[in-house]
Structure 1
Amino acid sequence: MSWSFDNTKPIYLQIMEKIKLQIVSHELEPNQQLPTVRDLASEAGVNPNTIQRALSDLEREGFVYSKRTTGRFVTEDLDLILQSRKQLSEEQLQQFVSCMLQFGYKKKNCQMY
C-alpha cells in the first residue's frame, strides 16, 4: 500500500518527516536497520531516487547512519532523538494553537485541550 502525500511540499521532505516521526516515537528503535531503498520505494510508491535523497538528508542530519555492506541504521544518539521529539511536539502544539485561534478561541481556552 502506498503512503499518502500532499502536493504542498516535496515528497522527499514528507518521507523524511515520516521517518523522523517513526524514530522519535520509537516505532524505529536506535540501531535498528532500515529497509532497503528499493523496499522503502516500493512501500511508499515512489521512485528509489526520492527515497535515496530523503535517507541521504537524514544521514546528514544524524538520524541515520550507513554501514557499507549492511545498509542504513537508526542513530544511537538519544539526545538527538529526544531533542527532535521535543521540537516536533512544540511545532505540533503551535499549529494546534494557531488553528484554534483561527476558529475564534482565545489562548486561555486552548489550554483546556
Structure 2
Amino acid sequence: MVRTRPLMIQIATGDPRPIGRQIVDAVRMKVATGELDHGDQLPSVRGLAQQLMINPNTVAKAYAELSTEGWLESRQGMGLYVAAKRQRLSDAERERRLDDAVGRLVNDVVPLGFAPAQVQARITHEFQLLLPRKSA
C-alpha cells in the first residue's frame, strides 16, 4: 500500500481568509509551482484534518472545490490525486482574475507610498523565488 506524505501547508490564524480558502490557495500554489505534480496523492480528508488540527468538514469542502475546478481528481477507493495539467479557466476568466488581483494590490500598496518601480521589483523578486521550484 502506497502511503502519502503529509501535505506541507500551514494555516495562519491571523489570516483574514477562511481556513478552507487557505487550503485551496496552498494546494493551487503547490501545483502551480510544481511542488505537487500530476499523479501525486493527497492526504485523506481525515489525515489532513488531523495534521492541521481542524474540522474534517473544512478539508472536505476545500478538496471538493479543488476537484470541481479540476486541480484534483478522485480515484474510486484510492483517494485524491493531482489532476493532469490543463487550462482550468477560460482566457476571459483568467484575465478577469488578474485584473482583480492587480486592482487589489494597487489599492493596498499605493497608500503605503512605495514607488511603482519598487513594487515591480518586489513582484519580480517573488516570481523568481518560485521559478526554481517549478523547473525542478
**Same fold, judged at TM 0.5 (above):** yes
How much is the aligned-residue C-alpha RMSD, in angstroms?
Answer: 3.1
- Given the alignment, which residue of 75, 98, 102 partners 1:67? 75
- Given the alignment, which residue of 48, 53, 66 partners 1:58? 66
Unaligned runs of 5+ in 1: none
- Spell out, residue by residue over 1:38-67, the C-alpha distance to the aligned partner (whole angstroms, 9 max, x if none): 111111121111100100111001100100
Q: CA deviation at 1:100?
A: 3.5
Unaligned runs of 5+ in 2: 1-7, 123-136
Q: CA deviation at 1:94?
A: 5.6
Q: CA deviation at 1:14?
A: 1.3
- Given the alignment, which residue of 87, 101, 113 partners 2:110? 101
Whether the aligned pair in 2 keeps the contact of 1:16 and 1:54 (CA below 8 Å) is: yes
Q: Distance in 2 between matches of 1:45 and 1:60?
A: 24
- Given the alignment, which residue of 10, 23, 28 partners 1:20? 28
Identity of aligned residues (%): 27
CA gap 1:104/1:43 in 2 versus in 1, 3 angstroms: same
Q: Distance in 2 between matches of 1:55 and 1:47?
A: 13
SS in structure 1 opposite 2:43?
A: coil
TM score, norm. by length of structure 1: 0.74
Give the paired residue count.
109
Q: CA deviation at 1:98?
A: 4.1
CA gap 1:112/1:47 in 2 versus in 1, 3 angstroms: closer
Aligned to 2:50: 42
Q: Give the letter for the 1:69 counterpart.
A: G
Q: Distance in 2 between matches of 1:41 and 1:10?
A: 15
Whether the aligned pair in 1 keeps the contact of 2:42 and 2:81 (CA below 8 Å) is: yes
Residue 32 (str. 1) matches residue 50 (str. 2): no
Aligned to 2:3: none
Q: Distance in 2 between matches of 1:112 and 1:76?
A: 33
TM score, norm. by length of structure 2: 0.63
